[in-house]
Structure 1
Protein backbone atom coordinates (compact mmCIF):
# COMPACT_ATOMS: atom_id res chain seq x y z
CA UNK A 1 0.00 0.00 0.00
CA UNK A 2 1.47 3.34 -1.05
CA UNK A 3 1.61 6.38 1.19
CA UNK A 4 -1.14 8.04 -0.85
CA UNK A 5 -3.54 5.13 -0.33
CA UNK A 6 -2.83 4.72 3.39
CA UNK A 7 -5.74 5.54 5.71
CA UNK A 8 -5.83 9.16 6.89
CA UNK A 9 -5.13 8.11 10.48
CA UNK A 10 -1.89 6.39 9.47
CA UNK A 11 -0.77 9.40 7.45
CA UNK A 12 -1.55 11.74 10.36
CA UNK A 13 0.27 9.56 12.88
CA UNK A 14 3.35 9.34 10.68
CA UNK A 15 3.34 13.07 9.87
CA UNK A 16 3.08 13.96 13.55
CA UNK A 17 5.84 11.49 14.37
CA UNK A 18 8.05 13.01 11.68
CA UNK A 19 7.51 16.56 12.96
CA UNK A 20 8.21 15.66 16.57
CA UNK A 21 11.21 13.49 15.67
CA UNK A 22 12.72 16.34 13.67
CA UNK A 23 12.36 18.71 16.62
CA UNK A 24 13.70 16.19 19.16
CA UNK A 25 16.74 15.45 16.98
CA UNK A 26 17.41 19.10 16.16
CA UNK A 27 17.04 20.69 19.59
CA UNK A 28 20.06 19.02 21.26
CA UNK A 29 22.20 19.93 18.24
CA UNK A 30 21.03 23.54 18.47
CA UNK A 31 21.82 23.73 22.19
CA UNK A 32 25.26 22.22 21.61
CA UNK A 33 26.00 24.72 18.84
CA UNK A 34 24.84 27.62 21.03
CA UNK A 35 27.01 26.41 23.90
CA UNK A 36 30.05 26.20 21.62
CA UNK A 37 29.41 29.67 20.21
CA UNK A 38 28.67 31.12 23.68
CA UNK A 39 25.22 32.17 22.45
CA UNK A 40 22.61 32.41 25.22
CA UNK A 41 19.55 30.19 24.75
CA UNK A 42 16.14 31.60 23.92
CA UNK A 43 14.26 30.32 26.95
CA UNK A 44 10.95 31.55 25.58
CA UNK A 45 11.39 29.42 22.47
CA UNK A 46 12.46 26.41 24.55
CA UNK A 47 9.36 26.78 26.72
CA UNK A 48 7.25 26.96 23.55
CA UNK A 49 8.75 23.68 22.30
CA UNK A 50 8.07 21.85 25.54
CA UNK A 51 4.56 23.28 25.69
CA UNK A 52 3.97 21.97 22.16
CA UNK A 53 5.11 18.47 23.17
CA UNK A 54 2.78 18.55 26.17
CA UNK A 55 -0.16 20.07 24.28
CA UNK A 56 -0.15 17.86 21.17
CA UNK A 57 1.84 14.62 21.30
CA UNK A 58 1.20 13.96 24.99
CA UNK A 59 -2.39 15.14 25.41
CA UNK A 60 -3.92 14.51 21.97
CA UNK A 61 -1.83 12.07 19.95
CA UNK A 62 -1.18 9.60 22.78
CA UNK A 63 -4.73 9.81 24.09
CA UNK A 64 -6.19 8.77 20.73
CA UNK A 65 -3.72 5.93 20.36
CA UNK A 66 -4.45 4.63 23.86
CA UNK A 67 -8.23 4.97 23.64
CA UNK A 68 -8.82 3.89 20.03
CA UNK A 69 -5.88 2.39 18.16
CA UNK A 70 -4.43 0.15 20.86
CA UNK A 71 -7.73 -1.42 22.11
CA UNK A 72 -8.70 -2.39 18.56
CA UNK A 73 -5.34 -4.09 18.09
CA UNK A 74 -5.58 -5.88 21.44
CA UNK A 75 -8.87 -7.40 20.33
CA UNK A 76 -7.66 -8.44 16.88
CA UNK A 77 -3.99 -9.36 17.43
CA UNK A 78 -3.48 -11.01 20.86
CA UNK A 79 0.20 -11.54 20.11
CA UNK A 80 0.77 -7.78 20.37
CA UNK A 81 -0.21 -7.64 24.04
CA UNK A 82 3.35 -7.29 25.33
CA UNK A 83 4.26 -4.59 22.83
CA UNK A 84 1.06 -2.68 23.53
CA UNK A 85 1.67 -2.93 27.29
CA UNK A 86 5.13 -1.41 26.79
CA UNK A 87 3.78 1.42 24.65
CA UNK A 88 0.97 2.11 27.11
CA UNK A 89 3.54 2.36 29.89
CA UNK A 90 5.45 4.89 27.80
CA UNK A 91 2.26 6.92 27.41
CA UNK A 92 1.55 6.78 31.13
CA UNK A 93 5.06 7.98 31.97
CA UNK A 94 5.20 10.63 29.26
CA UNK A 95 3.18 13.30 31.03
CA UNK A 96 5.37 13.08 34.14
CA UNK A 97 8.52 13.12 32.02
CA UNK A 98 7.56 16.30 30.15
CA UNK A 99 6.69 17.98 33.48
CA UNK A 100 10.13 17.11 34.83
CA UNK A 101 11.74 18.45 31.67
CA UNK A 102 9.78 21.70 31.96
CA UNK A 103 10.86 22.01 35.59
CA UNK A 104 14.51 21.47 34.66
CA UNK A 105 14.26 24.14 31.98
CA UNK A 106 12.79 26.59 34.49
CA UNK A 107 15.57 25.72 36.93
CA UNK A 108 18.18 26.46 34.26
CA UNK A 109 16.51 29.75 33.40
CA UNK A 110 16.17 30.87 37.02
CA UNK A 111 19.31 29.37 38.59
CA UNK A 112 21.78 29.77 35.76
CA UNK A 113 24.37 27.61 34.02
CA UNK A 114 24.79 25.27 36.99
CA UNK A 115 21.44 23.72 35.98
CA UNK A 116 22.12 23.50 32.23
CA UNK A 117 23.77 20.07 32.20
CA UNK A 118 20.86 18.46 34.03
CA UNK A 119 18.35 19.84 31.54
CA UNK A 120 20.40 18.74 28.54
CA UNK A 121 20.88 15.25 29.98
CA UNK A 122 17.16 14.90 30.68
CA UNK A 123 16.39 16.15 27.17
CA UNK A 124 18.69 13.52 25.65
CA UNK A 125 17.07 10.73 27.67
CA UNK A 126 13.55 11.97 26.87
CA UNK A 127 14.31 12.30 23.16
CA UNK A 128 15.94 8.87 22.91
CA UNK A 129 12.99 7.19 24.60
CA UNK A 130 10.43 9.07 22.54
CA UNK A 131 12.18 8.33 19.24
CA UNK A 132 12.36 4.64 20.14
CA UNK A 133 8.68 4.69 21.10
CA UNK A 134 7.61 6.19 17.78
CA UNK A 135 9.74 3.75 15.81
CA UNK A 136 8.11 0.82 17.59
CA UNK A 137 4.66 2.16 16.78
CA UNK A 138 5.53 2.54 13.11
CA UNK A 139 7.28 -0.81 12.70
CA UNK A 140 5.43 -3.05 15.17
CA UNK A 141 1.94 -1.55 15.43
CA UNK A 142 0.81 0.28 12.30
CA UNK A 143 1.54 -2.60 9.88
CA UNK A 144 -0.80 -4.84 11.92
CA UNK A 145 -3.45 -2.13 11.93
CA UNK A 146 -3.26 -1.82 8.13
CA UNK A 147 -3.49 -5.60 7.81
CA UNK A 148 -6.36 -6.26 10.21
CA UNK A 149 -8.63 -3.22 10.56
CA UNK A 150 -11.95 -3.01 8.75
CA UNK A 151 -13.30 -0.06 6.82
CA UNK A 152 -15.43 0.83 9.86
CA UNK A 153 -12.36 0.74 12.11
CA UNK A 154 -10.54 3.13 9.80
CA UNK A 155 -13.54 5.44 9.51
CA UNK A 156 -13.54 5.85 13.30
CA UNK A 157 -9.77 6.34 13.48
CA UNK A 158 -9.69 8.73 10.52
CA UNK A 159 -12.34 10.89 12.15
CA UNK A 160 -10.45 10.94 15.45
CA UNK A 161 -6.95 11.63 14.13
CA UNK A 162 -8.22 13.98 11.45
CA UNK A 163 -10.11 16.02 14.03
CA UNK A 164 -7.12 18.01 15.27
CA UNK A 165 -4.41 19.94 13.45
CA UNK A 166 -0.90 19.61 14.78
CA UNK A 167 0.77 23.03 14.19
CA UNK A 168 4.09 21.40 13.26
CA UNK A 169 2.46 18.84 10.94
CA UNK A 170 -0.23 20.71 8.99
CA UNK A 171 -1.97 18.66 6.32
CA UNK A 172 -1.96 19.80 2.70
CA UNK A 173 -4.70 22.29 2.02
CA UNK A 174 -5.44 22.95 5.70
CA UNK A 175 -4.34 26.07 7.54
CA UNK A 176 -2.87 25.89 11.02
CA UNK A 177 -5.38 26.76 13.74
CA UNK A 178 -5.09 30.51 14.21
CA UNK A 179 -4.79 30.09 17.97
CA UNK A 180 -1.63 28.00 17.51
CA UNK A 181 -0.06 29.99 14.68
CA UNK A 182 2.15 32.08 17.06
CA UNK A 183 3.35 28.86 18.74
CA UNK A 184 4.31 27.37 15.37
CA UNK A 185 6.11 30.57 14.34
CA UNK A 186 8.01 30.78 17.64
CA UNK A 187 9.25 27.20 17.39
CA UNK A 188 10.17 27.22 13.71
CA UNK A 189 11.91 30.60 13.98
CA UNK A 190 14.27 29.17 16.62
CA UNK A 191 15.03 25.80 15.04
CA UNK A 192 17.63 25.66 12.25
CA UNK A 193 16.96 24.61 8.67
CA UNK A 194 15.97 22.27 7.19
CA UNK A 195 13.33 21.64 9.85
CA UNK A 196 12.96 25.21 11.08
CA UNK A 197 13.35 28.66 9.60
CA UNK A 198 16.63 29.57 11.31
CA UNK A 199 20.07 29.37 9.68
CA UNK A 200 21.40 25.85 9.22
CA UNK A 201 23.82 24.68 11.88
CA UNK A 202 27.37 25.50 10.83
CA UNK A 203 26.18 28.01 8.22
Structure 2
Protein backbone atom coordinates (compact mmCIF):
# COMPACT_ATOMS: atom_id res chain seq x y z
CA UNK A 1 0.00 0.00 0.00
CA UNK A 2 1.40 3.45 -0.91
CA UNK A 3 2.31 5.78 1.96
CA UNK A 4 -0.70 7.72 3.23
CA UNK A 5 0.97 11.05 2.43
CA UNK A 6 1.06 10.19 -1.29
CA UNK A 7 -2.69 9.64 -1.24
CA UNK A 8 -3.22 12.89 0.66
CA UNK A 9 -1.04 14.87 -1.77
CA UNK A 10 -2.88 13.46 -4.79
CA UNK A 11 -6.27 14.16 -3.19
CA UNK A 12 -5.22 17.71 -2.37
CA UNK A 13 -4.01 18.19 -5.95
CA UNK A 14 -7.33 16.88 -7.23
CA UNK A 15 -9.36 19.25 -5.05
CA UNK A 16 -7.24 22.22 -6.13
CA UNK A 17 -7.51 21.24 -9.80
CA UNK A 18 -11.29 21.03 -9.39
CA UNK A 19 -11.42 24.51 -7.85
CA UNK A 20 -9.22 25.93 -10.62
CA UNK A 21 -11.42 24.42 -13.33
CA UNK A 22 -14.54 25.60 -11.53
CA UNK A 23 -13.12 29.11 -11.28
CA UNK A 24 -12.28 29.05 -14.99
CA UNK A 25 -15.86 27.99 -15.77
CA UNK A 26 -17.28 30.65 -13.48
CA UNK A 27 -15.22 33.38 -15.15
CA UNK A 28 -16.11 32.10 -18.63
CA UNK A 29 -19.79 32.50 -17.70
CA UNK A 30 -19.15 35.97 -16.26
CA UNK A 31 -21.16 38.02 -13.75
CA UNK A 32 -24.30 38.07 -15.88
CA UNK A 33 -27.29 39.36 -13.97
CA UNK A 34 -25.83 38.41 -10.59
CA UNK A 35 -22.52 40.28 -10.18
CA UNK A 36 -22.58 40.20 -6.37
CA UNK A 37 -22.92 36.41 -6.34
CA UNK A 38 -20.27 36.04 -9.05
CA UNK A 39 -17.62 38.10 -7.27
CA UNK A 40 -18.46 36.51 -3.91
CA UNK A 41 -17.91 33.04 -5.40
CA UNK A 42 -14.71 34.03 -7.19
CA UNK A 43 -13.31 35.57 -4.00
CA UNK A 44 -14.14 32.41 -2.03
CA UNK A 45 -12.30 30.24 -4.55
CA UNK A 46 -9.23 32.46 -4.57
CA UNK A 47 -9.28 32.56 -0.78
CA UNK A 48 -9.30 28.75 -0.71
CA UNK A 49 -6.32 28.62 -3.10
CA UNK A 50 -4.42 31.11 -0.96
CA UNK A 51 -5.48 29.69 2.40
CA UNK A 52 -5.05 25.96 1.94
CA UNK A 53 -2.51 25.05 -0.77
CA UNK A 54 -0.27 28.04 -0.14
CA UNK A 55 -0.34 27.86 3.68
CA UNK A 56 -0.66 24.12 4.40
CA UNK A 57 0.17 22.00 1.35
CA UNK A 58 3.22 23.80 -0.04
CA UNK A 59 5.09 24.37 3.23
CA UNK A 60 4.90 20.67 4.03
CA UNK A 61 6.19 19.70 0.60
CA UNK A 62 9.03 22.18 1.06
CA UNK A 63 9.91 21.12 4.61
CA UNK A 64 9.21 17.40 4.71
CA UNK A 65 9.00 15.89 1.21
CA UNK A 66 11.24 17.76 -1.21
CA UNK A 67 14.51 17.66 0.80
CA UNK A 68 14.22 13.93 1.37
CA UNK A 69 13.53 13.15 -2.27
CA UNK A 70 16.37 15.42 -3.43
CA UNK A 71 18.76 13.65 -1.05
CA UNK A 72 17.70 10.11 -1.96
CA UNK A 73 17.10 10.72 -5.69
CA UNK A 74 19.67 13.34 -6.80
CA UNK A 75 18.68 12.92 -10.45
CA UNK A 76 15.48 14.88 -9.69
CA UNK A 77 17.09 17.44 -7.36
CA UNK A 78 17.20 20.15 -10.03
CA UNK A 79 13.51 19.76 -10.79
CA UNK A 80 12.69 19.79 -7.09
CA UNK A 81 14.58 23.06 -6.67
CA UNK A 82 12.53 24.53 -9.51
CA UNK A 83 9.24 23.30 -8.06
CA UNK A 84 10.17 24.62 -4.65
CA UNK A 85 10.85 28.08 -6.09
CA UNK A 86 7.52 27.91 -7.91
CA UNK A 87 5.72 27.77 -4.57
CA UNK A 88 6.77 31.36 -3.89
CA UNK A 89 5.92 32.35 -7.47
CA UNK A 90 2.47 30.81 -7.16
CA UNK A 91 1.76 32.61 -3.90
CA UNK A 92 2.58 35.96 -5.51
CA UNK A 93 0.37 35.10 -8.50
CA UNK A 94 -2.60 34.31 -6.26
CA UNK A 95 -2.22 37.62 -4.44
CA UNK A 96 -2.12 39.38 -7.81
CA UNK A 97 -5.30 37.59 -8.86
CA UNK A 98 -7.07 38.70 -5.70
CA UNK A 99 -6.06 42.28 -6.44
CA UNK A 100 -7.10 42.07 -10.09
CA UNK A 101 -10.47 40.58 -9.17
CA UNK A 102 -11.11 43.45 -6.78
CA UNK A 103 -10.13 45.87 -9.54
CA UNK A 104 -12.65 44.26 -11.89
CA UNK A 105 -15.37 44.38 -9.25
CA UNK A 106 -14.79 48.00 -8.25
CA UNK A 107 -13.63 49.54 -11.53
CA UNK A 108 -15.84 47.68 -13.99
CA UNK A 109 -15.51 45.72 -17.23
CA UNK A 110 -12.42 47.62 -18.31
CA UNK A 111 -10.47 45.54 -15.78
CA UNK A 112 -11.95 42.19 -16.80
CA UNK A 113 -9.39 41.20 -19.46
CA UNK A 114 -6.44 41.71 -17.12
CA UNK A 115 -7.95 39.32 -14.61
CA UNK A 116 -8.94 36.73 -17.23
CA UNK A 117 -5.44 36.74 -18.74
CA UNK A 118 -3.74 36.44 -15.34
CA UNK A 119 -6.10 33.65 -14.29
CA UNK A 120 -5.41 31.65 -17.44
CA UNK A 121 -1.68 32.06 -16.92
CA UNK A 122 -1.95 30.94 -13.30
CA UNK A 123 -4.08 27.89 -14.06
CA UNK A 124 -1.71 26.71 -16.80
CA UNK A 125 1.26 27.32 -14.47
CA UNK A 126 -0.25 25.46 -11.56
CA UNK A 127 -1.59 22.46 -13.46
CA UNK A 128 1.86 21.94 -14.96
CA UNK A 129 3.44 22.31 -11.52
CA UNK A 130 1.20 19.59 -10.11
CA UNK A 131 1.69 17.38 -13.17
CA UNK A 132 5.46 17.42 -12.66
CA UNK A 133 5.08 16.64 -8.99
CA UNK A 134 2.81 13.68 -9.72
CA UNK A 135 4.71 12.25 -12.69
CA UNK A 136 8.30 12.81 -11.49
CA UNK A 137 8.64 13.69 -7.81
CA UNK A 138 6.06 11.37 -6.26
CA UNK A 139 7.22 8.29 -8.19
CA UNK A 140 10.82 9.07 -7.17
CA UNK A 141 9.69 9.47 -3.56
CA UNK A 142 7.91 6.13 -3.63
CA UNK A 143 10.93 4.44 -5.19
CA UNK A 144 13.68 5.86 -2.98
CA UNK A 145 12.40 7.02 0.42
CA UNK A 146 12.72 4.70 3.38
CA UNK A 147 10.38 3.80 6.20
CA UNK A 148 11.72 6.47 8.55
CA UNK A 149 11.34 9.16 5.89
CA UNK A 150 7.75 8.13 5.18
CA UNK A 151 6.78 8.07 8.85
CA UNK A 152 7.77 11.73 9.15
CA UNK A 153 6.22 12.82 5.84
CA UNK A 154 3.00 10.92 6.61
CA UNK A 155 2.72 12.53 10.04
CA UNK A 156 3.17 16.00 8.56
CA UNK A 157 0.49 15.63 5.89
CA UNK A 158 -1.97 13.72 8.07
CA UNK A 159 -2.63 16.90 10.04
CA UNK A 160 -3.84 18.82 6.97
CA UNK A 161 -7.45 19.95 7.26
CA UNK A 162 -8.46 20.43 3.63
CA UNK A 163 -12.08 21.65 3.51
CA UNK A 164 -12.63 20.10 0.06
CA UNK A 165 -11.07 16.65 0.47
CA UNK A 166 -13.53 13.86 1.17
CA UNK A 167 -12.86 11.70 4.22
CA UNK A 168 -10.05 13.84 5.65
CA UNK A 169 -10.06 15.95 8.84
CA UNK A 170 -11.79 19.27 8.30
CA UNK A 171 -11.26 22.25 10.55
CA UNK A 172 -14.75 23.48 11.55
CA UNK A 173 -13.53 26.99 10.79
CA UNK A 174 -13.50 26.01 7.13
CA UNK A 175 -17.08 24.73 7.04
CA UNK A 176 -18.48 28.02 5.80
CA UNK A 177 -15.87 28.20 3.06
CA UNK A 178 -16.58 24.59 2.05
CA UNK A 179 -20.31 25.25 1.86
CA UNK A 180 -19.92 28.38 -0.25
CA UNK A 181 -17.64 26.73 -2.77
CA UNK A 182 -19.35 23.33 -2.94
CA UNK A 183 -22.88 24.68 -3.28
CA UNK A 184 -22.26 27.64 -5.57
CA UNK A 185 -19.41 26.34 -7.74
CA UNK A 186 -20.13 25.01 -11.24
CA UNK A 187 -20.72 21.27 -11.54
CA UNK A 188 -17.04 20.45 -12.07
CA UNK A 189 -16.74 20.52 -8.26
CA UNK A 190 -18.72 17.82 -6.48
CA UNK A 191 -19.35 18.65 -2.80
CA UNK A 192 -16.90 16.78 -0.61
CA UNK A 193 -15.43 14.63 -3.38
CA UNK A 194 -13.46 16.30 -6.21
CA UNK A 195 -13.95 14.60 -9.57
CA UNK A 196 -11.17 12.17 -10.30
CA UNK A 197 -10.94 13.37 -13.91
CA UNK A 198 -9.93 16.76 -12.51
CA UNK A 199 -6.61 15.39 -11.32
CA UNK A 200 -3.66 17.36 -12.71
CA UNK A 201 -2.03 14.27 -14.17
CA UNK A 202 -4.95 13.95 -16.58
CA UNK A 203 -4.85 17.58 -17.69
CA UNK A 204 -2.69 18.53 -20.63
Name the TM tier (shorter chain).
0.7 to 0.9
Is 1:60 matched up with 2:59? no
Say if 1:145 and 1:23 are closer, same or farther in 2 by CA, change over 3 A. Answer: same
Residues 11-26 of structure 1 correspond to what in structure 2 (within 5 A)? 11-26=7-22
Root-mean-square deviation (CA, aligned residues, Å) is 1.6
Match of 1:181 among 171, 175, 185: 175
Aligned to 1:162: 158
Report the CA distance between 1:33 and its aligned residue.
2.3
Query: Number of aligned pairs?
Result: 190
TM-score by length of 2: 0.88
**2:71–2:77: 8 Å Cα contact kept in structure 1?**
no
Aligned-partner SS, 1:135: helix
Aligned-partner SS, 2:92: helix
User: Where does structure 1 lack aligned partners over 5 or more consecutive residues?
Assistant: 198-203
Report the CA distance between 1:186 and its aligned residue.
0.7
Cα distance in 1 for residues equivalent to 2:112 and 2:33: 13
Aligned to 1:113: 109
Cα distance in 2 for residues equivalent to 1:87 and 1:150: 22
Is 1:49 matched up with 2:45? yes
Cα distance in 2 for residues equivalent to 1:106 and 1:44: 11
Cα distance in 2 for residues equivalent to 1:164 and 1:153: 18
TM-score by length of 1: 0.88
Report the CA distance between 1:6 and its aligned residue.
1.5
**1:7–1:154: 8 Å Cα contact kept in structure 2?**
yes
Report the CA distance between 1:30 and its aligned residue.
2.2
Q: Deviations over 1:97-124 (max 9, x none)?
A: 1111110011011111111111111111
Say if 1:163 and 1:129 are closer, same or farther in 2 by CA, change over 3 A. Answer: same
Match of 1:122 among 95, 107, 118: 118
Aligned-partner SS, 1:147: helix
Report the CA distance between 1:38 and its aligned residue.
5.6
Report the CA distance between 1:82 and its aligned residue.
1.5
